[in-house]
Structure 1
Amino acid sequence: MMFKLFFISFLFFLACNPKTETSNSLPKNFEGKVVAIKDGDTFKVMYEGKEKTIRLEHIDCPEKSQPFGNNAKQLASDLCFGKMVKVVSNGKMDRYQRLIAEIYVGDINVNKELVENGLAWHFVNYSKDNSYAKLEIQARKNKAGLWSDVHAIAPWDWRKIKKAKNKK
């Protein structure tokens, strides 16, 4: 009986206290101004007078030192630097305490634009969203952006190679 009472109380607590914010007091969805583009998939957005770092969900752009890395950063900048954007998230943070989210400028999904233009991979290790897979397949067929290079290296492999070289 005591267990049932505890369980019902716990369910009531969860129902009355939905988690709508991340651990650093950010709401899941908010609007803010993009004040920096660190690389193709990492932005800084001003929200309530503070810079918040956003890591684009579902995608991985080439590293800055990698071919097409600067192109990804430039497209991201062209799309949203200095603009008000909508940040849509499930509230999860990555290991660097960046909010993982999709960013919209009006009706444009910046994450998807990067994949469609061949400047990002669908990050299948962290995303099961088939719409990103379809965009990547189309970009590959069109040889868009990085897909014009038959030897394009995924950023996660690039990072492993770089890390192995640094250990030597």
Structure 2
Amino acid sequence: MYKFCLVLLFLISLSFHPNNSNAKKDSIIGKAVAITDGDTFKLLTKDSTLIKVRLANIDCPEKKQPFSKKAKQFVVDAIFSKTVTIYVLKKDRYQRYIANVIYDDSLNLSCELVRHGLAWHYVKYSKDSILQSLEDKAKLNRVGLWADRNAVAPWIWRSSKKKKIKH
């Protein structure tokens, strides 16, 4: 099991290396200065630019959903007030940088959230086999939000809230 984890971490580090053809070359180093929720935070760059970052390929529970506070606290503990590197994939309609976030030299924040059962692999926007494998394992072991066999994905939860507002 230990060897599997080492191999997986090695593969993850390769998949997000700036020279990898799958990763965009735009990388930004900065300090995480505010954590909005489990998948969004603010980064202060070396030139004092404040940017909003949305984690790529995952979706954390929404506020008022179970495990929302735990996901946010995980991110606080992992990156708040630390220097991180983001690999920007694109900007979304809210002008947030959609990015892979690397902290503690080699850990991918999206992967760690999924591994700990604090986020879903957002398959609508991602075909990442590593994230899917991590989610499958967390489900199998009933880790975090997967302890609830009827856990509701955030995109479904948001959709149901919109329907209730319309009625």
User: What CA RMSD, in Å, does the superposition of the two structures yield over aligned residues?
Assistant: 1.0
Q: CA deviation at 1:28?
A: 1.7
Q: Which residue in the other structure is 1:74 paired with?
A: 73
Identity of aligned residues (%): 49
Q: Which residue in the other structure is 1:49 paired with?
A: 48
Q: Which residue in the other structure is 1:167 paired with?
A: 166
Cα separation, 2, equivalents of 1:44 and 1:28 = 17
Cα separation, 2, equivalents of 1:89 and 1:130 = 19
Residues 36-81 of structure 1: per-residue CA shift (max 9 Å, x gap): 1101000100012121000100100000211101110010110000
Q: Which residue in the other structure is 1:8 paired with?
A: none
Q: Secondary structure at the match of 2:33?
A: strand
Q: Secondary structure at the match of 1:159?
A: helix
Q: Secondary structure at the match of 1:100?
A: strand
Residues 117-167 of structure 1: per-residue CA shift (max 9 Å, x gap): 000000000001111000000000110100001110000000001111111
Structure 1 length normalisation: TM-score?
0.82
The answer for unaligned runs of 5 or more in structure 2 is 1-24
Cα separation, 1, equivalents of 2:134 and 2:92 = 24
Q: CA deviation at 1:98?
A: 0.5
Q: Which amino acid aligns with 2:28?
A: F
Residues 59-106 of structure 1: per-residue CA shift (max 9 Å, x gap): 00000211101110010110000000010123x111111010011112
Give structure 1 regions of 4+ aligned residues with deviation exceeding 6 angstroms. none
Q: Which amino acid aligns with 1:41?
A: D
Q: Which residue in the other structure is 2:28 paired with?
A: 30
Q: Which residue in the other structure is 1:142 paired with?
A: 141
Q: CA deviation at 1:115?
A: 0.2
- Computing the radius of gyration from Cα coordinates, the structure with the larger value is 1
Cα separation, 2, equivalents of 1:64 and 1:83 = 24
The answer for unaligned runs of 5 or more in structure 1 is 1-26
Number of residue pairs matched?
141
Structure 2 length normalisation: TM-score?
0.82
